Amino acid sequence: MRKLFALLLMLSALIVATAEHPVMAQSQLDKDAAFELASEFAQCAGLFDALSGLMKRAGKADAAKSLRETGNGAATASAMSGTLGTTPEKAWEMSNNMRDVFGSRWKAIVLNEGVSGEEVKQRMALCVELNPLQTQLIQDARKQAYGFRDRSEQ
């Protein structure tokens, strides 16, 4: 829970810094925070990929698809978080690279320890806690991409 709180604090600080002080948003501290948050989401994407593969091998296609799509959302949140510290192109590249690296790591852990291993449980708990933020980032991206705004913004 402390880690989630720290991550949310970092994200809030980054958003405020970017909105109110564009020059401050480029400081190394802000870039480090953006990288840390992007890494956390990429870890989740990798874990969801590993679990998706496990479900697929178990013949549970619907669960595999759901986990894969949740992983896609985590990868998108990773890239969006990364754009607070670098260009969108580099953020997407970084997100995809980290997803692959972490996915390989999580696959090995899940194959060796199963889903009930302590490390898997801890990461999954953090990913579940990050999910509302992930959902918000995705919804914000959709609003921006499709031109929707809250009625209060019109």
Domain count, the chain: 1
- The parent domain of residue 82 ranges over 2-18+35-143
Distances (CA, A) of 7 to 1, 3, 10, 108, 130: 10, 6, 5, 26, 9
The reply to whether 114 falls in a domain is yes
Q: Roughly how many angstroms between the first and final C-alpha of the chain, as a whole number?
A: 36
CA 9 from centre of chain: 15
pTM for this one?
0.79
Establish if 93 belongs to a structural domain.
yes
Can you list the residues of the chain whose pLDDT is less than 70? 1-29, 149-154
- Per-residue model confidence (pLDDT) at position 4: 57
| pLDDT value of residue 29 | 64
Question: What is the pLDDT, as a whole number, of residue 1?
Answer: 54
What is the residue type of 87?
A: T
Instruction: Tell me whether residue 26 is in a domain.
Output: no
DSSP 76: H
